[in-house]
Structure 1
Amino acid sequence: MASVESRQSVAIVGTGMAGLITAWIIRNDSRASKKTLSLDSASLTVSNLAGDKQRVDLPMRAFASGFYDNLKRMYDYFGIEYGKQKFIFPFSTVENETEPGRRPKIHTSFIHSSHTHQFPPLRPQGSTWLTWLTEALYLGICYLWIVSCSIFIKPIEANSSRPSETFRQYAARIRLPQYFVKNYYLPIMSAVTTCPHNALLDFPAIDIVDYQAKTFGKPHYTVIGGVSKVQDKLSKGLNVHYSSAAIRVENVGAKVQLTWKNDITGSTGSKLFDHVIMAVTPDVVRAIFPPLRSALAVIPTSTVPAYVHRDFDRLPKCNQVVNGGIRSEPGLPSPERIHLCSNSSSTEFTHEHLSSVIITTSPILPIDPSKIEHTVFFTRTLRTPLSQKVTKEIFDPKTSSDFGDSKQWRNGDGNIWLVGSWCWDGMVLLEGCIASALRVAEELDIEVPWAL
């Protein structure tokens, strides 16, 4: 919880990307609950095989041009270094997960490289030339079909008589093969969104299709040195209250009262501000801001586990093929491997970090407890046509409202604001943090130096 003083007093609840960038924007107006900040709090520093220290971002925060344009412009303004990063994606399935007493068998069906930088693609161990070639041609046709559809066949959006088309409905309408959806498309989108398959199928189709169209053919980037570099830039000079959790936000006269509890001493405190900006997930907003308690109940969230470990035995055998066939370009970092292993309902993705540790998110298969070095849990906000409707009602003043509490409250009412990855009509990713912070800056008539 950080408070920022300028011409008016402003409290920012939350110190993730949305909270820090909003705090920076307000504090640097040119005309005017943890022991660490949240953006980098789950990350850690590890030693590689050579003994050098490297920062491991949790969760991974790769971004692509086209979709992340606001984020990229902000990084450019601050001089934050980022570089192109290529990835190798082995796609695997668990074949006998439910058989008691037997070790699950992992079958790798294809090894994809981002933007086909590894061409021809690597052939999985145990796959015949004919099987591999057939799979490659099939995937190429399916991928070109979904890309073409994302450009020319737009999802059906909501109107007064119907909700938005879900991705499940859209995939059926464009006749996207179920084998491709289940074994390839949902796993790769699960890696992007950290969501289980059924949740992705219930997303508004426009979210996924828009992301697909904007990132097609665009390079991926990662911040050099990790997002701690971003956190250091944005938090410089801020007045931050560590180990404190907001417990209530409410209007008192013309002011906004923020009440918090110290996690160490158990004591509570409160203060009046001109504005309070909540940069937290919707479940937290529900708990501390009564006017949105029932409206935000329709926005689902899930808890996502991630483990940093060195249990290399659980990696698919395809690594032998990848190690022997991977190609690197001079001046660019080596492609990083992200294993996508799926069962009938979800995908675990295992990132082989260049520092020689492994990060497994949403694990399906067990990890040797003795080899786990770090565990974190983070909250993922999910999307449905109903949650999309409520989000529009809260953040778009032109949208008519007929849902519960959102009739009485819109973003900014009573000088209370919401920012975050979920606070816009789009995929719940870092770009939403920047877009929602820019919206608040515009409403408060604050100039943002990198905004268009």
Structure 2
Amino acid sequence: SYLFLSCTEKSKNQDITLAEFINQNDIEEVFWHGVVMPVLYTICTCNPKTIGDWPAKNLLEFLRHLTDGDMLLRMKGGTPAFVDSLIKGIDIHSGSAIKKVELQGEKVLVENEKGDQGTFDRVIVATPTSKLEEFLNPEQFAEDMNLLKQFRFEQGDLVIHTDATVMPPRRKDWSVLSYMMDRKFTRQQFTVWMNAVEPSLVGKNPVFQTWRPVVDIDPKKVISKVTLTRAVVDSQTIALNKELQQRHLEPNRKVFYCGSWSCDGLPILESAVTSAMHIAEILGAPLPFVGLKPKVEVAPELGY
């Protein structure tokens, strides 16, 4: 089966939700729920019950680019290399939550739970908006909070483990991503086979990451369990983002907000970077990597 997303005439329904798109088009159920939706669940790590509220346009454009665009690349060294590049040359204070952000004259005071504090000309807050009430001064940032609290979030569990029951019974059917669902498309989960993407795990016992597991994973085989916060996109998100970006342009603005939730498109890592770039442009900070092409190499240690 094929999904054709290009057309010669632009639809008048540019703002419909994914659920409305499905209802308005005659799409084979097995193809839609068995092929298309698993891709979206996997990339967006979202709740299947809320993805129907997402604007259809962004999701369909993403699918078109995924199937007919540039090839997907993986950063050499994985997440650790990515983090190391981000924090290079930065003075980091970690391990203690921020408890106070407030305006003091022409400066912004930031204080953490350890009591460490400092005053800054500008502050960029990169966290889900559901956490902002824990540290933003409620009187000084009342207008911002009224806007930001309208962004929605949900949580899901990511389990890292060695239980192979989340994979196909036959080893030869294993792949980097394994998607499981029942025949009624009501329960689903996906698993990443870490040995296939992480060079340090090649040749070692299988390790898996399962998002929102619906099957019982052997507790003795669980390495760790992490609860992650994910943005929920709906018909209001685009308008909320537009309002936020306008506020960022206010003269003498001192506090800015960014994250995967604060950018048009899918709330994924690339969107988080884009939202930060918007603020960097406002502050006149250089973006030396814009326009650079990645150096593409094969990964023989992973078998490709």
TM-based fold match above 0.5: yes
2:189 corresponds to 1:348: yes
Secondary structure at 2:6's aligned position in 1?
Answer: helix
User: In 2, Cα distance between the equivalents of 1:286 and 1:176?
Assistant: 43
Match of 1:167 in 2: 18
Secondary structure at 2:89's aligned position in 1?
Answer: coil
Decide whether the 8 Å contact of 1:411 with 1:417 is kept in 2.
no
Matches within 5 A, 1:205-220: 205-217=56-68, 218-220=70-72
Matches within 5 A, 1:198-347: 198-217=49-68, 218-262=70-114, 268-289=115-136, 290=138, 291=142, 292-317=144-169, 319-322=170-173, 336-343=175-182, 344-347=185-188
Match of 1:445 in 2: 284
The C-alpha deviation readout for 1:92-113, integer Å capped at 9, x for no partner, is xxxxxxxxxxxxxxxxxxxxxx
User: In 2, Cα distance between the equivalents of 1:228 and 1:152?
Assistant: 45
| TM-score, normalised via structure 1 length | 0.56
Secondary structure at 2:261's aligned position in 1?
Answer: coil
User: In 1, Cα distance between the equivalents of 2:229 and 2:26?
Assistant: 33
Decide whether the 8 Å contact of 2:249 with 2:282 is kept in 1.
no
CA drift of 1:225 comes to 2.1
Decide whether the 8 Å contact of 1:188 with 1:340 is kept in 2.
no
Matches within 5 A, 1:22-37: none
Match of 1:366 in 2: 216
CA drift of 1:259 comes to 2.6
The structure-2 alpha-carbon separation of the partners of 1:439 and 1:346, relative to structure 1 and needing over 3 Å to count, comes to farther
The C-alpha deviation readout for 1:10-52, integer Å capped at 9, x for no partner, is xxxxxxxxxxxxxxxxxxxxxxxxxxxxxxxxxxxxxxxxxxx
Q: Which has the higher contact order (CA 8 A, sep 6+)?
A: 1
Stretches of structure 1 that go unaligned for 5 or more consecutive residues are 1-139, 158-163, 263-267, 324-335, 398-408
Secondary structure at 2:253's aligned position in 1?
Answer: helix
Question: Could you tell me which amino acid in structure 1 is paired with residue 227 of structure 2?
Answer: F
Secondary structure at 2:160's aligned position in 1?
Answer: strand
The structure-2 alpha-carbon separation of the partners of 1:410 and 1:346, relative to structure 1 and needing over 3 Å to count, comes to farther
User: In 2, Cα distance between the equivalents of 1:189 and 1:253?
Assistant: 46
The C-alpha deviation readout for 1:172-223, integer Å capped at 9, x for no partner, is 2233333332232222210111112221111111220221222223322212
Stretches of structure 2 that go unaligned for 5 or more consecutive residues are 196-200, 292-304
From the CA coordinates, give the structure whose radius of gyration is larger.
Answer: 1
CA drift of 1:226 comes to 1.3
Match of 2:13 in 1: 156
Matches within 5 A, 1:84-103: none
2:3 corresponds to 1:144: yes
The structure-2 alpha-carbon separation of the partners of 1:274 and 1:280, relative to structure 1 and needing over 3 Å to count, comes to same
Which of 36, 42, 52 lines up with 1:185 in the alignment? Answer: 36
The structure-2 alpha-carbon separation of the partners of 1:175 and 1:298, relative to structure 1 and needing over 3 Å to count, comes to farther
Decide whether the 8 Å contact of 2:191 with 2:211 is kept in 1.
yes
User: In 2, Cα distance between the equivalents of 1:352 and 1:237?
Assistant: 33
User: In 1, Cα distance between the equivalents of 2:18 and 2:249?
Assistant: 28
User: In 2, Cα distance between the equivalents of 1:314 and 1:448?
Assistant: 42
Decide whether the 8 Å contact of 1:155 with 1:165 is kept in 2.
no
Question: Could you tell me which amino acid in structure 1 is paired with residue 177 of structure 2?
Answer: I
| TM-score, normalised via structure 2 length | 0.81
User: In 2, Cα distance between the equivalents of 1:308 and 1:393?
Assistant: 38
CA drift of 1:152 comes to 5.6
Which of 235, 251, 254 lines up with 1:415 in the alignment? Answer: 254
- How many percent of aligned residue pairs carry the same amino acid? 23
Decide whether the 8 Å contact of 1:198 with 1:345 is kept in 2.
no
Question: Could you tell me which amino acid in structure 1 is paired with residue 188 of structure 2?
Answer: T
The structure-2 alpha-carbon separation of the partners of 1:346 and 1:432, relative to structure 1 and needing over 3 Å to count, comes to farther
Match of 1:386 in 2: 236
CA drift of 1:224 comes to 2.2
Secondary structure at 1:240's aligned position in 2?
Answer: coil
Secondary structure at 1:348's aligned position in 2?
Answer: strand
Question: Could you tell me which amino acid in structure 2 is paired with residue 270 of structure 1?
Answer: Q
Which is richer in strand?
A: 1
Secondary structure at 1:216's aligned position in 2?
Answer: helix
